Amino acid sequence: MPDAQAATANPSLTERSPLLPPASDAMPSHEGATVLNVAGRLRPSRRLRAVERDRQPPPDAGRARTTLPSNDFLKDVTRETRRAERSHTPLSLLVFRIDDTRLDDAFGADGLLELLHRTTRATDIIGLQQDRAVAVLCPDTDETGMQAFMDKVRTQCGSATLDVEAATYPDALFESLGNGTRPRPAAAPFIARDGARPSNGTYAAKRLLDIVGASLALIFFAPLMLVVALVIATTSQGEVIFRQTRLGKGGVPFTFYKFRSMIPRADDAIHRAYVASLIKDAVPAGAAGSGAPYKLQHDPRVTWIGRLIRKTSIDELPQLFNVLKGEMSLVGPRPPIPYEAAQYQPWHLRRVLDLKPGITGLWQVEGRSRVTFNDMVRMDLRYCRECSLALDIRILLRTVLVVARCEGAV
């Protein structure tokens, strides 16, 4: 790793920045660490980028005294998020936006970094973000502790004005997901995780498969969709297409389409209670029989034509338009309703954050309505890890057989 003198490679830096430590006790460096130029702007050091990655920091280099580049910081966010999920402990994040026009000349961006290094704990992690921002990840810190830290920073920065955002995982995400609103900017590092995702080539092929597959399916099913729309319109009042807010990749809400299978303005209290019980890993009251023990049956809100199109999965066909709009994929985790996501355990959130939702997926072809909610989430996460063009094609072919046999449908 680079030695401590890398932080003082530019003599003019210490002259303009009285808050930086002298060369004798300079801030320990870190792989890919960042230094500041004389204008107070954040930039990667060429010398630090050239250092071999396998070199280790000196034994006395405290972690809280390093500033991680964005990619390394996101890796730490992923690791700490997994730990928080397992241990059920809070995890807070603060993002400080650097605006030279709003910072005192005697303080500056370098002064902000030095202040953060002085006030954070050994377990806290400081990292750079895009748009001239510095983030501090605080393990085992709830909203009260986060607010105390923010107050401490503001007190010590004197007259300088700081632009700061804060989020606590998973509370900040639960709040936005449960309300069906876009997650706050401060929660972005919790969403921009470095988990296994398709490669760039596979992702491009996946989008191509979505466009071609959805277009061909719409052409093929157009006559059937027209007939179903006419039957729904003539047998009950209300709109033919049911629109509902669902959560897409990263928890971003979008309008989800289905053929309406219920009476107009149906009360969702039955489904809310059913979902809450299902997520608690119990067989909910009103669930189907042994063939589909985790599917709500005898729902009084469903019309006679609704039962038919649900049994045959025809009610899902309008989601092909969601695929063409880029809100969904042909294959992926099913998009949750906001009040469903509000019931999630922290590890359940990964099915919402990691991949674009789909019309069909592993759950539909391997355990539709026959497995617990936790098992369904595990299937979704397995798909996230193994996602590929070949897997998508296999799932689509198996979906045709499952739908033809009406397996797991009620």
301 and 329 in a single domain? The answer is: yes
User: Do the Cβ atoms of 297 and 208 come closer than 8 Å?
Assistant: no
209 and 309 in a single domain? The answer is: yes
Task: Give the CATH number of the domain where residue 146 resides.
Answer: 3.30.70.2880
Residues paired with 257 in a beta bridge? 243
210 and 140 in a single domain? The answer is: no
Is residue 410 assigned to a domain? Answer: no
- Tens of each residue's pLDDT in the chain, 410 residues: 444 444 444 443 333 333 334 444 433 333 333 333 333 334 444 333 333 333 344 444 444 468 888 888 888 888 888 888 888 888 998 888 766 655 555 556 677 888 888 888 889 999 887 767 888 999 999 888 888 988 888 888 766 677 888 888 877 776 777 677 777 777 777 776 544 444 433 567 899 999 999 999 999 999 999 999 999 999 988 899 999 999 998 888 999 999 999 998 888 888 888 888 888 865 555 555 544 555 677 788 999 999 999 999 999 999 999 999 999 999 999 999 999 988 888 888 888 887 889 999 998 898 776 788 888 888 998 888 888 899 999 999 999 998 888 776 66
Nearest to 97 by CA among 56, 54, 134, 144: 134
Amino acid at 357: P
Number of domains in the chain: 2
Q: Which residue has the tokens 């397992």?
A: 86
| CA distances in angstroms from 238 to 186, 260, 338, listed in the order given | 40, 9, 23
Query: How buried is 24 (Cβ within 10 angstroms: 0-12 exposed, 13-18 middle, 19+ buried)?
Result: exposed
What per-residue confidence (pLDDT) applies to 292? 53
What per-residue confidence (pLDDT) applies to 48? 33
Nearest to 157 by CA among 117, 103, 97, 120: 103
Instruction: Give the residue from 151, 173, 191 where a domain finishes.
Output: 191
Crossing angle between the packed helical segments 143-156 and 108-119, to the nearest 10 degrees: 130
Instruction: Give the residue from 142, 172, 191 where a domain finishes.
Output: 191
Instruction: Give the residue from 191, 222, 241 where a domain finishes.
Output: 191
Structure tokens at 261: 């299978």
- The H-assigned helical ranges of 90-193 are 108-119, 143-156, 171-179, 188-191
- The H-assigned helical ranges of 236-318 are 269-279, 304-311
| CA distances in angstroms from 279 to 7, 47, 119, 344, listed in the order given | 51, 51, 40, 7
Query: In the structure, how many helices (H) and strands (E) does the chain have?
Result: 16, 11
Domain that holds residue 136: 4-191
265 and 147 in a single domain? The answer is: no
Write phi, then psi, for 37 (nearest 5 degrees).
-85, 180
Q: Which residue has the tokens 């390394």?
A: 72
Query: How buried is 132 (Cβ within 10 angstroms: 0-12 exposed, 13-18 middle, 19+ buried)?
Result: middle
Is residue 158 assigned to a domain? Answer: yes
Identify the helix (H) or strand (E) that includes residue 136. Answer: strand 133-139
